[in-house]
Amino acid sequence: PEYYRELNEKGDWFFGRIECLLRETGRPWQVNHVGSLGCLYFTKQDVKDYESAKTSDTELFAKYHNHMLEQGIYLAPSQFEAVFLSHAHTEEMLEKTLDAITIFLQKI
Instruction: Give the chain's radius of gyration (CA, Å).
Output: 13
Band of pLDDT at residue 50, cut at 50, 70 and 90 = very high
Residue 14: its pLDDT value, please? Answer: 98
Residue 56 to residue 69: CA distance in whole angstroms: 20
Q: What is the mean pLDDT of residues 20-45?
A: 95
Predicted local distance difference test score (pLDDT) of residue 36: 96
Rounded to the nearest integer, the mean pLDDT of the chain is: 96
Query: Quick one: average pLDDT of 7-22?
Result: 97
Confidence of residue 85 (pLDDT cuts 50, 70, 90): very high
54-69: burial string, b at 16+ Cβ within 10 Å, e else: eebeeeebeebbebbe
Instruction: Provide mean pLDDT across the span 65-92.
Output: 95
- CB contact at 8 A, 100 and 68: yes
Task: Report pLDDT for 49.
Answer: 96
